[in-house]
Amino acid sequence: MARKSKETPEINGGSMADIAFLLLIFFLVATTMDIDTGLSRQMPPYNPEAQESKDEIKERNVYVVLINSNDQILVEGQPMNVHKIREAAKEFIVNPENKSNLPEKRPVEIDFLGEKMVSKGIISLQNDRGTSYGMYIKVQNELIAAYNEVRDEVSMREFGRRFDDLVKEKQDAIKEYYPQIISEAEPKNIGGK
Amino acid sequence: MAKFGRKGKGGMPGISTASLPDIVFMLLFFFMVSTVMRETTLKIEQKLPGATEVKKMERKSLVSYINIGKPRPTFQSMYGTEPRIQLNDAFAKVADIRNYITAEREKMDEKERPLMTVSLKVDQKTKMGIVVDVKQELRKASALKINYSTRKVEVIE
Protein backbone atom coordinates (compact mmCIF):
# COMPACT_ATOMS: atom_id res chain seq x y z
CA MET A 1 0.00 0.00 0.00
CA ALA A 2 2.87 2.27 0.46
CA ARG A 3 3.48 2.49 -3.26
CA LYS A 4 0.02 3.66 -4.15
CA SER A 5 0.29 6.53 -6.58
CA LYS A 6 -1.26 9.77 -5.53
CA GLU A 7 -2.97 10.61 -8.85
CA THR A 8 -3.88 8.75 -12.00
CA PRO A 9 -1.59 9.57 -14.91
CA GLU A 10 -3.08 11.86 -17.53
CA ILE A 11 -4.20 10.39 -20.81
CA ASN A 12 -1.99 11.48 -23.64
CA GLY A 13 -3.94 13.85 -25.88
CA GLY A 14 -1.49 13.71 -28.72
CA SER A 15 -3.39 11.08 -30.65
CA MET A 16 -6.66 12.93 -30.46
CA ALA A 17 -5.91 14.68 -33.72
CA ASP A 18 -5.32 11.33 -35.42
CA ILE A 19 -8.61 9.95 -34.21
CA ALA A 20 -10.44 13.09 -35.26
CA PHE A 21 -8.80 12.95 -38.68
CA LEU A 22 -9.91 9.38 -39.10
CA LEU A 23 -13.51 10.31 -38.34
CA LEU A 24 -13.26 13.40 -40.52
CA ILE A 25 -12.10 11.38 -43.50
CA PHE A 26 -14.90 8.90 -42.98
CA PHE A 27 -17.52 11.60 -43.03
CA LEU A 28 -15.88 13.35 -45.96
CA VAL A 29 -16.19 10.18 -47.98
CA ALA A 30 -19.70 9.35 -46.81
CA THR A 31 -21.11 12.81 -47.41
CA THR A 32 -23.45 13.44 -50.27
CA MET A 33 -24.06 17.14 -50.37
CA ASP A 34 -26.82 17.06 -52.95
CA ILE A 35 -30.08 18.47 -51.77
CA ASP A 36 -33.02 17.08 -53.66
CA THR A 37 -34.31 19.51 -56.19
CA GLY A 38 -36.96 19.08 -58.80
CA LEU A 39 -40.09 20.22 -60.56
CA SER A 40 -43.18 19.72 -58.42
CA ARG A 41 -46.44 18.85 -60.09
CA GLN A 42 -49.89 17.98 -58.90
CA MET A 43 -51.66 15.19 -60.77
CA PRO A 44 -55.43 14.98 -61.17
CA PRO A 45 -57.16 12.20 -59.23
CA TYR A 46 -57.66 8.90 -61.02
CA ASN A 47 -61.17 8.70 -62.34
CA PRO A 48 -61.71 6.37 -65.27
CA GLU A 49 -65.37 7.35 -65.77
CA ALA A 50 -64.90 11.06 -66.11
CA GLN A 51 -63.39 11.17 -69.54
CA GLU A 52 -62.20 14.41 -70.96
CA SER A 53 -64.92 16.90 -71.65
CA LYS A 54 -62.86 18.79 -74.16
CA ASP A 55 -65.83 20.05 -76.13
CA GLU A 56 -66.64 22.51 -73.35
CA ILE A 57 -63.33 24.28 -73.74
CA LYS A 58 -63.00 26.53 -76.73
CA GLU A 59 -60.14 25.91 -79.06
CA ARG A 60 -58.66 29.37 -78.55
CA ASN A 61 -58.30 28.67 -74.84
CA VAL A 62 -56.14 25.59 -75.27
CA TYR A 63 -52.46 25.70 -76.04
CA VAL A 64 -51.56 22.33 -77.44
CA VAL A 65 -47.99 21.12 -77.04
CA LEU A 66 -47.22 17.76 -78.59
CA ILE A 67 -43.99 15.82 -78.38
CA ASN A 68 -43.57 12.85 -80.66
CA SER A 69 -41.44 9.75 -80.27
CA ASN A 70 -38.52 11.43 -82.05
CA ASP A 71 -38.54 14.26 -79.51
CA GLN A 72 -39.90 16.73 -82.04
CA ILE A 73 -42.25 19.37 -80.73
CA LEU A 74 -45.45 20.63 -82.28
CA VAL A 75 -46.96 23.73 -80.71
CA GLU A 76 -50.42 24.75 -81.92
CA GLY A 77 -49.81 22.88 -85.15
CA GLN A 78 -46.40 24.45 -85.78
CA PRO A 79 -43.07 22.67 -85.30
CA MET A 80 -41.06 24.54 -82.70
CA ASN A 81 -37.63 24.47 -81.15
CA VAL A 82 -37.62 23.80 -77.41
CA HIS A 83 -35.98 27.16 -76.70
CA LYS A 84 -38.76 29.11 -78.39
CA ILE A 85 -41.53 27.59 -76.28
CA ARG A 86 -40.98 29.90 -73.37
CA GLU A 87 -41.65 33.10 -75.30
CA ALA A 88 -44.55 31.59 -77.21
CA ALA A 89 -46.17 30.26 -74.03
CA LYS A 90 -45.76 33.62 -72.33
CA GLU A 91 -47.67 35.30 -75.11
CA PHE A 92 -50.41 32.72 -74.73
CA ILE A 93 -50.60 33.17 -70.97
CA VAL A 94 -50.66 36.95 -70.96
CA ASN A 95 -52.39 37.68 -74.29
CA PRO A 96 -51.36 41.33 -74.01
CA GLU A 97 -53.23 42.58 -77.05
CA ASN A 98 -56.39 40.56 -76.43
CA LYS A 99 -56.07 38.81 -79.76
CA SER A 100 -59.02 36.77 -80.88
CA ASN A 101 -56.99 33.60 -81.39
CA LEU A 102 -55.50 33.71 -77.88
CA PRO A 103 -57.44 32.85 -74.70
CA GLU A 104 -60.46 34.70 -73.41
CA LYS A 105 -60.39 36.50 -70.12
CA ARG A 106 -62.92 36.93 -67.39
CA PRO A 107 -62.99 39.52 -64.61
CA VAL A 108 -62.09 38.22 -61.15
CA GLU A 109 -61.88 40.08 -57.88
CA ILE A 110 -58.49 39.31 -56.29
CA ASP A 111 -57.18 40.40 -52.89
CA PHE A 112 -54.43 43.06 -53.07
CA LEU A 113 -54.87 43.42 -56.82
CA GLY A 114 -58.50 44.44 -57.27
CA GLU A 115 -60.47 43.36 -60.29
CA LYS A 116 -58.28 41.78 -62.91
CA MET A 117 -58.90 40.04 -66.19
CA VAL A 118 -57.88 36.44 -65.65
CA SER A 119 -57.11 34.30 -68.66
CA LYS A 120 -59.04 31.10 -69.27
CA GLY A 121 -56.08 29.56 -71.02
CA ILE A 122 -55.04 25.98 -70.49
CA ILE A 123 -51.80 24.47 -71.63
CA SER A 124 -52.25 20.93 -72.81
CA LEU A 125 -49.12 18.84 -72.92
CA GLN A 126 -49.22 15.56 -74.71
CA ASN A 127 -46.38 13.17 -75.25
CA ASP A 128 -45.82 9.86 -76.92
CA ARG A 129 -44.78 6.73 -75.08
CA GLY A 130 -41.54 6.89 -77.06
CA THR A 131 -40.68 10.45 -76.02
CA SER A 132 -37.49 10.62 -74.02
CA TYR A 133 -37.82 11.71 -70.42
CA GLY A 134 -35.11 14.32 -70.91
CA MET A 135 -37.11 16.11 -73.62
CA TYR A 136 -40.31 15.85 -71.60
CA ILE A 137 -38.63 17.55 -68.65
CA LYS A 138 -37.18 20.24 -70.91
CA VAL A 139 -40.63 21.11 -72.23
CA GLN A 140 -42.17 20.98 -68.75
CA ASN A 141 -39.37 23.21 -67.54
CA GLU A 142 -39.95 25.75 -70.30
CA LEU A 143 -43.69 25.87 -69.61
CA ILE A 144 -43.12 26.34 -65.88
CA ALA A 145 -40.48 28.95 -66.69
CA ALA A 146 -43.00 30.84 -68.82
CA TYR A 147 -45.43 30.97 -65.90
CA ASN A 148 -42.69 31.94 -63.48
CA GLU A 149 -41.52 34.78 -65.73
CA VAL A 150 -45.05 36.09 -66.16
CA ARG A 151 -45.60 35.96 -62.42
CA ASP A 152 -42.30 37.67 -61.77
CA GLU A 153 -43.17 40.46 -64.16
CA VAL A 154 -46.58 41.12 -62.67
CA SER A 155 -45.11 40.91 -59.19
CA MET A 156 -42.52 43.55 -60.08
CA ARG A 157 -45.25 45.74 -61.54
CA GLU A 158 -47.72 45.41 -58.67
CA PHE A 159 -45.51 45.03 -55.62
CA GLY A 160 -42.06 46.05 -56.83
CA ARG A 161 -40.54 42.75 -55.78
CA ARG A 162 -39.75 39.40 -57.25
CA PHE A 163 -42.41 36.72 -56.85
CA ASP A 164 -40.21 34.56 -54.63
CA ASP A 165 -39.66 37.44 -52.20
CA LEU A 166 -43.35 38.14 -51.62
CA VAL A 167 -45.29 37.04 -48.56
CA LYS A 168 -47.52 34.04 -49.05
CA GLU A 169 -50.80 36.00 -49.29
CA LYS A 170 -49.48 38.14 -52.11
CA GLN A 171 -48.03 35.10 -53.85
CA ASP A 172 -51.46 33.52 -53.69
CA ALA A 173 -53.00 36.65 -55.19
CA ILE A 174 -50.62 36.48 -58.13
CA LYS A 175 -51.19 32.76 -58.47
CA GLU A 176 -54.88 33.54 -58.76
CA TYR A 177 -54.16 36.19 -61.38
CA TYR A 178 -52.04 33.80 -63.45
CA PRO A 179 -53.07 30.28 -62.48
CA GLN A 180 -50.71 27.56 -63.64
CA ILE A 181 -52.82 25.10 -65.56
CA ILE A 182 -50.84 22.47 -67.39
CA SER A 183 -53.03 19.58 -68.33
CA GLU A 184 -51.51 16.30 -69.39
CA ALA A 185 -53.54 14.14 -71.66
CA GLU A 186 -53.13 10.40 -71.82
CA PRO A 187 -50.13 9.72 -74.01
CA LYS A 188 -50.57 8.18 -77.41
CA ASN A 189 -48.55 5.31 -78.72
CA ILE A 190 -48.00 6.32 -82.29
CA GLY A 191 -44.24 5.98 -82.50
CA GLY A 192 -44.65 2.32 -81.60
CA LYS A 193 -41.58 2.16 -79.36
CA MET B 1 28.23 25.01 -29.71
CA ALA B 2 29.93 28.15 -30.75
CA LYS B 3 29.91 27.00 -34.30
CA PHE B 4 26.17 26.79 -34.35
CA GLY B 5 25.60 29.89 -32.36
CA ARG B 6 23.35 31.49 -34.92
CA LYS B 7 20.85 28.74 -34.82
CA GLY B 8 18.86 30.02 -31.91
CA LYS B 9 18.51 33.53 -33.33
CA GLY B 10 17.57 33.00 -36.96
CA GLY B 11 14.91 30.74 -38.45
CA MET B 12 11.24 30.61 -37.67
CA PRO B 13 9.91 28.96 -34.59
CA GLY B 14 7.80 25.88 -35.39
CA ILE B 15 4.05 26.42 -35.66
CA SER B 16 2.27 25.05 -32.66
CA THR B 17 0.12 22.07 -33.54
CA ALA B 18 -1.77 22.22 -30.28
CA SER B 19 -4.83 23.75 -31.97
CA LEU B 20 -4.85 21.19 -34.77
CA PRO B 21 -7.33 18.88 -33.00
CA ASP B 22 -9.66 21.82 -32.53
CA ILE B 23 -9.60 22.68 -36.20
CA VAL B 24 -10.09 19.08 -37.20
CA PHE B 25 -12.95 18.67 -34.76
CA MET B 26 -14.60 21.75 -36.17
CA LEU B 27 -14.46 20.31 -39.68
CA LEU B 28 -15.57 16.96 -38.36
CA PHE B 29 -18.67 18.41 -36.75
CA PHE B 30 -19.49 20.32 -39.91
CA PHE B 31 -19.40 17.19 -42.00
CA MET B 32 -21.22 15.13 -39.38
CA VAL B 33 -24.09 17.60 -39.35
CA SER B 34 -24.27 18.09 -43.10
CA THR B 35 -23.98 14.42 -44.01
CA VAL B 36 -26.98 12.68 -45.41
CA MET B 37 -26.38 8.99 -45.50
CA ARG B 38 -27.49 7.29 -48.67
CA GLU B 39 -30.15 4.83 -47.65
CA THR B 40 -30.38 2.77 -50.77
CA THR B 41 -27.81 1.55 -53.23
CA LEU B 42 -28.75 2.36 -56.76
CA LYS B 43 -28.89 -0.64 -59.02
CA ILE B 44 -29.66 1.45 -62.06
CA GLU B 45 -27.82 4.04 -64.07
CA GLN B 46 -29.20 7.43 -63.35
CA LYS B 47 -28.31 10.71 -64.95
CA LEU B 48 -31.01 13.13 -63.97
CA PRO B 49 -32.14 15.70 -66.54
CA GLY B 50 -31.31 19.35 -66.00
CA ALA B 51 -33.86 22.09 -65.43
CA THR B 52 -33.73 25.76 -64.57
CA GLU B 53 -36.95 26.19 -62.59
CA VAL B 54 -36.14 23.75 -59.83
CA LYS B 55 -37.39 24.05 -56.29
CA LYS B 56 -35.85 22.52 -53.21
CA MET B 57 -37.72 19.71 -51.55
CA GLU B 58 -38.67 20.84 -48.11
CA ARG B 59 -39.02 17.84 -45.87
CA LYS B 60 -37.22 14.61 -46.49
CA SER B 61 -39.47 12.61 -44.19
CA LEU B 62 -42.45 13.26 -46.47
CA VAL B 63 -40.73 12.10 -49.62
CA SER B 64 -40.74 8.64 -51.14
CA TYR B 65 -38.51 7.82 -54.04
CA ILE B 66 -39.09 5.88 -57.21
CA ASN B 67 -36.01 5.30 -59.32
CA ILE B 68 -36.24 4.41 -62.98
CA GLY B 69 -33.39 3.69 -65.34
CA LYS B 70 -31.30 1.14 -67.15
CA PRO B 71 -29.87 -1.54 -64.84
CA ARG B 72 -26.18 -1.18 -64.04
CA PRO B 73 -23.81 -3.45 -65.99
CA THR B 74 -23.52 -5.92 -63.09
CA PHE B 75 -27.28 -6.47 -63.10
CA GLN B 76 -27.76 -6.51 -66.84
CA SER B 77 -27.28 -10.25 -67.19
CA MET B 78 -30.18 -10.78 -64.84
CA TYR B 79 -32.47 -7.88 -65.63
CA GLY B 80 -31.63 -6.88 -69.19
CA THR B 81 -30.95 -3.41 -70.50
CA GLU B 82 -34.49 -2.07 -70.66
CA PRO B 83 -35.28 0.65 -68.10
CA ARG B 84 -36.63 -0.76 -64.87
CA ILE B 85 -38.14 0.53 -61.67
CA GLN B 86 -36.26 0.37 -58.41
CA LEU B 87 -38.11 0.78 -55.13
CA ASN B 88 -35.93 0.86 -52.04
CA ASP B 89 -33.26 -1.74 -52.72
CA ALA B 90 -35.00 -4.01 -55.17
CA PHE B 91 -36.19 -3.99 -58.74
CA ALA B 92 -39.94 -3.85 -58.99
CA LYS B 93 -42.78 -4.03 -61.46
CA VAL B 94 -45.32 -1.32 -62.13
CA ALA B 95 -47.92 -3.30 -60.20
CA ASP B 96 -45.75 -3.20 -57.05
CA ILE B 97 -45.97 0.56 -56.81
CA ARG B 98 -49.35 0.64 -55.17
CA ASN B 99 -48.19 -1.55 -52.31
CA TYR B 100 -45.04 0.50 -51.98
CA ILE B 101 -47.03 3.73 -51.70
CA THR B 102 -49.35 2.17 -49.14
CA ALA B 103 -46.38 0.97 -47.12
CA GLU B 104 -44.71 4.37 -47.27
CA ARG B 105 -47.94 6.04 -46.24
CA GLU B 106 -48.31 3.71 -43.27
CA LYS B 107 -44.91 4.81 -42.01
CA MET B 108 -45.97 8.43 -41.86
CA ASP B 109 -47.75 10.36 -39.21
CA GLU B 110 -51.46 10.50 -39.86
CA LYS B 111 -51.49 14.28 -40.06
CA GLU B 112 -48.70 14.34 -42.59
CA ARG B 113 -50.10 11.78 -44.99
CA PRO B 114 -51.80 14.30 -47.29
CA LEU B 115 -48.48 16.07 -47.71
CA MET B 116 -46.72 12.99 -49.00
CA THR B 117 -44.67 13.63 -52.11
CA VAL B 118 -43.33 11.04 -54.50
CA SER B 119 -40.04 11.94 -56.09
CA LEU B 120 -39.48 10.41 -59.49
CA LYS B 121 -35.80 9.97 -60.13
CA VAL B 122 -35.69 9.02 -63.74
CA ASP B 123 -32.73 8.70 -66.06
CA GLN B 124 -32.97 11.23 -68.86
CA LYS B 125 -32.67 8.64 -71.61
CA THR B 126 -35.68 6.67 -70.38
CA LYS B 127 -38.69 6.57 -72.66
CA MET B 128 -41.86 8.16 -71.35
CA GLY B 129 -43.86 4.93 -71.63
CA ILE B 130 -42.68 3.49 -68.32
CA VAL B 131 -42.91 6.90 -66.64
CA VAL B 132 -46.51 7.25 -67.78
CA ASP B 133 -47.34 3.80 -66.42
CA VAL B 134 -45.81 4.75 -63.09
CA LYS B 135 -47.74 8.00 -63.01
CA GLN B 136 -50.99 6.16 -63.70
CA GLU B 137 -50.26 3.79 -60.82
CA LEU B 138 -49.54 6.73 -58.55
CA ARG B 139 -52.83 8.30 -59.50
CA LYS B 140 -54.61 5.05 -58.72
CA ALA B 141 -52.86 4.98 -55.35
CA SER B 142 -53.88 8.65 -54.93
CA ALA B 143 -50.35 9.83 -54.45
CA LEU B 144 -50.93 12.96 -56.48
CA LYS B 145 -48.09 15.17 -55.39
CA ILE B 146 -45.12 14.26 -57.49
CA ASN B 147 -41.75 15.77 -58.06
CA TYR B 148 -39.60 15.21 -61.09
CA SER B 149 -36.14 15.10 -59.64
CA THR B 150 -33.78 17.23 -61.70
CA ARG B 151 -30.38 18.84 -61.48
CA LYS B 152 -30.20 22.61 -61.31
CA VAL B 153 -28.62 24.03 -64.42
CA GLU B 154 -28.36 27.62 -65.62
CA VAL B 155 -29.37 27.00 -69.24
CA ILE B 156 -30.92 23.93 -70.74
CA GLU B 157 -29.06 22.63 -73.73
Tens digit of pLDDT for each residue in A119-153? 888 888 888 888 898 998 999 999 999 999 999 99
Kindly state whether A95 is in contact with chain B, defined as any CB-CB distance less than 8 angstroms.
Answer: no
Q: How far is CA A20 from CA A130, B25, B26, in A?
A: 52, 6, 10
**What percent of chain A stands above pLDDT 90?**
5
CATH code assigned to B50-152: 3.30.420.270
Where do the domains of chain B lie? 50-152
Cα of B134 to nearest chain A Cα, Å: 12
DSSP annotation string for B107-149: HS-GGGGGG-EEEEEE-TTSBHHHHHHHHHHHHHTT--EEEEE
Q: Do B127 and A132 touch (CB under 8 A)?
A: yes
How far apart CA B134 and CA B95 sit, in angstroms, is: 9
Does residue A18 contact residue B21 with C-beta atoms inside 8 Å?
A: no
Cα of A1 to nearest chain B Cα, Å: 38
Phi and psi (nearest 5°) for B88? 50, -120
How far apart CA A31 and CA A27 sit, in angstroms, is: 6
Does residue A132 contact residue A74 with C-beta atoms inside 8 Å?
A: no
Q: Do A187 and B32 touch (CB under 8 A)?
A: no
> Chain A interface, mutation test: which of B41, B116, B132, B145, most A Cβ atoms within 10 Å?
B132
Contacts of A32 (CB under 8 A, 6+ apart): B35, B36, B38
Poorest-pLDDT segment among A90-99, A102-111, B30-39, B49-58: B30-39
Cα of B6 to nearest chain A Cα, Å: 31
How far apart CA A135 and CA A67 sit, in angstroms, is: 8
User: Averaged over A157-164, what is the pLDDT?
Assistant: 87
Q: Do A43 and B139 touch (CB under 8 A)?
A: yes
Q: Is the pTM of this model over 0.90?
A: no
Task: Give the β-pairing of B145-149 and B117-122.
Answer: parallel
Contacts of A101 (CB under 8 A, 6+ apart): A60
DSSP annotation string for B16-30: P-TTHHHHHHHHHHH
Find, in chain B, the residue whose alpha carbon is nearest to that of A132.
Answer: B127
Q: Tens digit of pLDDT for each residue in B115-156?
A: 888 989 999 888 988 988 998 888 888 888 899 988 888 887
> Chain A interface, mutation test: which of B52, B128, B154, most A Cβ atoms within 10 Å?
B128
Please give the pLDDT value at position A193.
44
Q: Tens digit of pLDDT for each residue in B71-101?
A: 988 888 888 888 889 988 888 888 888 899 9
